[in-house]
Amino acid sequence: MITSIHTGSAEQVYETLYCARGQVENLIKLRKAQLASDRTRCPLANQMRLILHTAAYWLILTMRDAIWATHVFATAEFTTTRSRLLKLGTRVIESASRVRLAFPAACPGAALFRRIARP
């Protein structure tokens, strides 16, 4: 690696700058591939679609950060998280002060979802 940065060791520059840049590019690639947000040929027609996909990406990333490190979903890919935690058949019960989700009795991710959703 060739750089004009003179502060810090070569190892430190590589680990803090170069590897971080690669991680950002990996996350962009993951977002495009797994959330189908790369089909934006016409900016005006697809602006809302891009906003919704960005919100979905942020939601999944936030959910992954809220899961404790030893759980299998902590390092799961976005498609796995989306299909197992977000695509749930639940009954939504709205009242004036809260929104409740009624999970089916056979929902394997219900306990995890309740733990994530609790403040």
What is this structure's pTM?
0.50
Distance CA 97, CA 117 (A): 16
Token pair listed for 108: 């394997």
Cα separation, 39 vs 81, in Å, equals 22
Element (H, E) at 40: none
Whether pLDDT at 98 is above 80: yes
Query: For residues 94 and 102, what is the distance between their CA atoms, to the nearest angstrom?
Result: 11
Q: What is the pLDDT of residues 25-75, one digit of tens each?
A: 777 777 677 666 556 566 666 677 778 777 878 888 887 888 888 887 788
Query: In which band, very low, low, confident or very high, does the pLDDT at 95 lie, cut at 50, 70 and 90?
Result: very high
Query: Residue 94: is its pLDDT beyond 90?
Result: yes
Nearest Cα to Cα of residue 54 among 44, 45, 46: 46
pLDDT band for position 24 (cuts 50, 70, 90): confident
Instruction: Give the C-alpha separation, 91 to 74, whole Å.
Output: 26
Report the mean per-residue pLDDT for the chain. Answer: 75
Q: Do residues 56 and 79 make contact, with C-beta atoms less than 8 angstroms apart?
A: no
Domain positions in the chain = 1-79, 88-119
